[in-house]
Structure 1
Amino acid sequence: MKFSKAEVDAIIEASPRTFVPFNKLVLSEDHQARSATTPAMSLPELAASIKDSGVLQNLVVVQAARGRYEVCAGGRRLAALTLLVQQGDIADNYPVPVLVVPADKALIASLAENCFHVPMHPADEFAAFARLLAQGKSVEDVAAAFGVTPLIVKRRMKLATVSPRLMALYREGGIGLDCLIVLASVDDHQRQEQAWAGLPSWNQRPEHLRQLLTRGEIESDADPLARYVTVKAYEKAGGPLRRDLFSDDDRKAYLLDPALLERLAADKLGKRAKQLLSEGWKWVDIRPRFAYDEYVKHGELRKPRRAPTSEEAEALKELDTRIAALHEQMDALVDRDGDAGEDVSDADDANDADDANDASRDRAFLALESEADGLEEERKARLEALTEWPVAWMALAGCVLHVGADGRAAIRAGLIRPEDRADLAQAITKAAEQKSAGGGGSEGDADPARGSGLPALQSLPSAAGATARPVHSEKLMRRLTAHRVAAIQAELLDRPEVALAALTTHLTLKLLADPLHGAYRLPNLLAISATGNQHDLRGAAEDIEASPAAQRIEADRIAWIEHLPKEPDAVFDWMLRQPPQTVQRLLTFLVASTVNGITGTDTGRPVNDGLARALGLDMTRWWSATGEAYLQHVSKARVVEVVHAAAGAKVAGPLAELKKDAAVAQAEQLLAGRGWLPDCLRVQPHADAPATGGEEVDANDPARTEAPACA
């Protein structure tokens, strides 16, 4: 039978209301409408509220035997009262307001209380907390009244300060509580609303919202500079910050003045810098955040290691012997794995014995491994003690003092400024001449500066090399080398014999690396993990799709897709039916699609240089130095230098007087048709390179640009 609210109200209206001592109340087993619940407030919170304000809503009871009353609605209030009695906060005869209903109406009354009760919206709770505090109650008083911590009260108050527009959305279900918490972390209503409006509908995640709100702010626990300076020092210096009440870490803060933070870091680093200068370094630069681009032109010395004394050598030898012995014992334990239990006939006993032996061997292995690791650390420390900077080197070099990724002071030492390279080379030459005149050194000594206290010249970039090196940013280098990779891929499409050789070489270095000394250290010629790198090319050079090389590759890709079966399971059978030439051309295309070589630096030999030489790569067929492709991305001085190299000083001179845009436009015209290439796009001949064995291919042969010969 379904009861209307009016009928239920009539039952309640006809029932008497009174007070019953707590010790006369028992929980009803027969008249409870709800056996389990998900409370909006925990039991301690409810108990604290009753202690502060009393029982505001009566319990529904029925009269039972021996003067007792069974509670059929209000079980949680009864449990909270029980907790207060147990804690001694109220007497066991505490008067509890009740509504006494007939036994045959008890279940209906219990059902009515649960069905017709409208729970408070969380937004109303936030506002109520704020009103209590506005009435003069302290945070601690409100916390005690509701049995929660002061932090929870502060958080609910903070939620009440969210923009009214956003709070209305929250009431309507348009914003989740997790996002409302993030919005409440800042006080500016306009900033809250802008952040929410800027959040795409498909990505309304609290993590993304937090990124929008904290843009430009520095997280105290994540930023190395903030960890190095410390929030305490930043605050002491008057730095503005914002704390997030909803963070689990109450020490976390968002720093709002990056300039002040960097100044404080530099001041703190300054003390260490003075110490470094007193040690004999020629110069010390303080950089709170190390920028590699600032020092890309600097040479860098390697910290030398002196020869150990006889005692030090003996100690190192002893460590090596002990470490080797431990590794032999560990290998022996591994070899013995599975031998235990062979002499036990009973199967259960054998399994138990195997388990015991396995556990014993594991413990022994871990103990040996731990001891070996400790000896390795000791050996590393002893070797580190043998390295030191010679005074003569320090007088010519300097170091950069900065904050490392771990939030500690870090030193990059042994750097040579470009203007000091000539002096260094002169000093090395003079030292070598003095040594030669004095007849010092052994006959086989290959280092002319050994014993002079100066570094060998070949350990540094030469002064001439420093002035001739093009100034290319990492982004531009990636852009240029992406075009080089695309060009190699396009060239490779017509050279299956080279593709086969490249693939075989790659697999040889991967699968037969043990007898090939140093093979593991070689960079990958191909991305042979069956992942094409067209996405990488587009990411490195946004203009790649318009290049002739990329268009050639894309045309072949589309042609192959049209010829391949549509179902993956049918590809192998289809492959078996094709003539060898078709499979070879498809393999060539796939190998070409994996060529590697995008890099952000222009030092060292390109990984694909050998492949480029084998193909006879001519980058002028695939790339030209236009404004968009190159000239706009380098300095005006570099533009003048390029035109000087390609067309001569007389033509390049007037460009120096023009503004950058005008110089680029004129330089593009002057370079047109001249075939100038930056060094990173040129293919240098290799004196030791063997002949490729492939026949010459005419660059103008129409067959080089035909579609794949698919059957």
Structure 2
Amino acid sequence: MSDIDTKAPAKPKSTAKKSPAKAVSAKTAAAKFVEAALDKAERKNLMLKEITFTDQNARITPRTQEEIEEMAISIEAAGLLQNLVVHRMADGRYGAAAGETRRLGMDLLMVQGRSAAGVPVTPEFIVPVLVVDEQDAYAISVAENVRRTNLQPADQLENIRLLAKKGTPPEQIGAILGFSTLHVKKCLKLTTVAPALLDLLKTNQINFDQLAALGATDDHQRQLQAWEKSSYYAHLRKPKALREAVLNDEVSAADSHIVEFVGLEAYQAAGGETREDLFAESVILTNPLMLETLAMAKLQVAADEVAKNEGWAWAVGRSREVRSYNGDEKTFEILFVQAKLSDELQTEMDQLLTEQELLDDMFDTAGLDADEEWEHAPRVEQIEARINEINDAAEINKWSPEVRATAGVVAYLKDGQIQIQRGLMKVEDIKQQEKANREEIKKNTPPSEKGLSQVLVASLSAERTLAVSAALAQNTNVAIALHTFTLANRIFHNGYNYVLHTSVDSQHSACLSQSAEADSENGIANQKLNEMHESWLSRFPQDWSDDFTWLLEWPQADVLALLTYCISHAVDGKEAHMRDNRIASRLERIEQALNFQIGEWWKPTCDNYFSRIGKDQIVDALNSAGESGKAKDAEGMKRKEAAEFAAAVLSETGWLPSCMAPQPQAESENRADATASATNANDTDADDSAAA
């Protein structure tokens, strides 16, 4: 697709006049109900002391002192402008079903010795009222509140619940309040959510849409867990996210791209079950596994078709794009190839983009009317279609036949649409190819009589690097000092330096690949690193790779610990040749700083050492370990048998090959000093040459 998003201007459509809405507004319906009910009421004058609070009043949210004072001021200035609606109570007094705020305002005037339109307000103050039957009082109160002001969501739910409790059917409740029957049913459903959430609604800490999303499940514990979890990130408080959180084993058809992709009819035809989703006016699919299976089958067909048409070795359908993290790196490796256009196509692309930009500028600045824009729309569409065609073809053609012969494609779903990801290698295929390459090298590189092959040196250095990395990942002081030293060398030091630095890339995969024949993947060091990797990854937020600011919310100690782990992956001691008969000698200084003991992480086995050296070296190893008798036994064996024998004899002795064994610190420091001197001399020579 083009980087420039161009949309053709749409031609305006004539808009037919809308017919009057059939639905009556809530306030209009409520007003009609109140008028009809009050026409039958008895008009009467009561003393203020005869009127009291009643639970037939629909308002649940407490009146604020400010509301009461404002009402008192209004009555004091103009008197009581509207009758109270009351019903007779068992004790002979009258309860204020409608007008409780006015009653409280008059009580305040009485307590403070004030007047109403010049008349002192006393317990005997005359109040005009309309007396209704108790069974009608609550419904009138609800309708009166709706007529005057929109009820608070919490009051609305409670009023609907109480009306239903009194036996009022949803249709009649809707008629009283001016809501549709479906809305009333939704509200009745919401009254059954966790009580703690309803309490939050009363204090406006949760809104109606959020509550409706949580109400997609009847499980109170899941509702509360989803709400609590959402408190950490604002985007999780959105109704869609809350709905997904409570439906973790179900799928709503209302906002699911995968349902749109598979088709509700196809899901139901396959035997998938659904249940009603009142809040989304849709259905909830109760068998997500079946839905996922149908989607994967459809994606696999799409992937197979692309692979067949373009000549890829394999194809896979999956729910999401392959990434280089989140576990995908264990199965796939993403190949990167830059798409290039021919000179002819590049010229055409440049012309199209120029014309597209000119049209955009004309739409923005020329003040064209709708008809003029419509005249240019076909050309805009042609340009965009051709740009997409060129880019799509380039994306396909950039892959050589050699790559397609071993790599594959993935079809995945994004926003309900099939997307194709090309140029993926299976890690297992890579390992098999690398193993074949190593066998070929090993076949052509026999071990010397007393030395070690390059393949074995490379493997041992990779295993040692993994072990040092695992130890370094647990020592923040050494890790940060090492990384700081690396940066200081790059900034303040000119020239090459053999002293160990941290790399800009992770060496973990390379070490595993280089020592695969030794089964390092199942070694102690790699297991420790994997354990730490999963532990850290589980703490990352969902979109952690988009931005670094989430780390600002972490304790500094945790950030440093994470940095330590990352630095440990950047240690590179891999090499194909020994220096001074030492494996990965560049690691010695860091090993000393860590008080590192290779024997705690690695020991020689048949696979990683003995089967990869000569028979005379096996005999020498047994002799150096003090097993001269066993060494004589090995002399009479074949090489493979001797390797297995030596591994068994030495497995619990702690013996290490001299190239892997720890060196005395003085000897190590002398060697490091010699290396540093040589490096400095090289730098000086380089400077002298530059000066000359």
**Class of the TM-score when normalised by the shorter of the 2 chains:** 0.3 to 0.5
TM-score when scaled to structure 2? 0.42
Higher relative contact order (CA 8 A, sep 6+): 2
